[in-house]
Amino acid sequence: MNENDVPGFFTACRSASQESLGEIWSISPESITLAEIRDRLSGRAEGIRHVFETADAVAYSGQSFSREELRKCRDLVIGEMEKMGKGRQAENTL
């Protein structure tokens, strides 16, 4: 992780989330916005919403984060995507 490319890091987190959610929802990843996440997940996946909100804020603020903060965010995205995948598997078996 490059601590100097915070916008790139959050763009990558958002893109990974969009790819995973696009696959789950069968829609184009580029069409997934913060509003779409709020509508579809309503109260679930707080971490994904946080990543999208932070990515939007970082794009304009130039805020910096420590290596540990970036690692926590990465782990949050991975954890949320794993939960979504498990949720999808459970949905298919019911």
Per-residue pLDDT in tens (0 to 9) along the chain, 94 residues: 555 788 888 888 888 888 888 988 999 999 999 899 888 887 777 888 888 888 888 888 878 788 888 888 888 888 887 877 744 443 443 3
Global pTM reads: 0.74
Distance CA(29)–CA(14), nearest Å, equals 10
Name which of 17, 18, 7, 15 is nearest 70 in CA terms: 7
17, two tokens: 């989330």
Longest Cα–Cα distance in the chain: 46
Phi-psi region of 64 (alpha: psi -120 to 50; beta: other; left: phi over 0): beta
Predicted local distance difference test score (pLDDT) of residue 29: 93
